[in-house]
A and B are shown apart, each in its own frame.
Chain A
């Protein structure tokens, strides 16, 4: 039972355009969400997070949107750059009584120069 889903395994975007990566979750108790970026042969690195009390969080070129009623979050990258080419994972957690992070399956983003 995949509680966090990234239904697009890959995405290609032209440099300078917007990249939108999507993530859906099934457990309505999740209340904290994170995005990680992973380059080949490296560990994931944290990108941006959002608490369930917010619907948007912005950090430079990266913005995460949360739609709790739809159990959906998205990561927007504007403008996309070739260095953004990587695999992006979303993750979700519960803040009460557990420290488990559940990750999605990842989306491979390719930014074309």
Chain B
């Protein structure tokens, strides 16, 4: 299957700082990328959908000013958690797809805010 890479895999940051997570499709051009969040012992929750070159569509209850998503190219999307707080600590996962294909997932990023 296609390869999606996330970086970093783990990050610890201080409360009040911002953290950027990268999601890259390594061997295909992703027309659409998705960002999910997963708390311990819970399922994945979709945060937003982004299409290359356009603004992301956020799910209800997700603050777009706190979780900034940029999808500037067909192989890269970034999620920036602004002014992070301990309650933002979670496992963040991206997925990417081409038109008419299934979605492929990155390995996830474990964010810990201290």
A and B associate in one complex: no
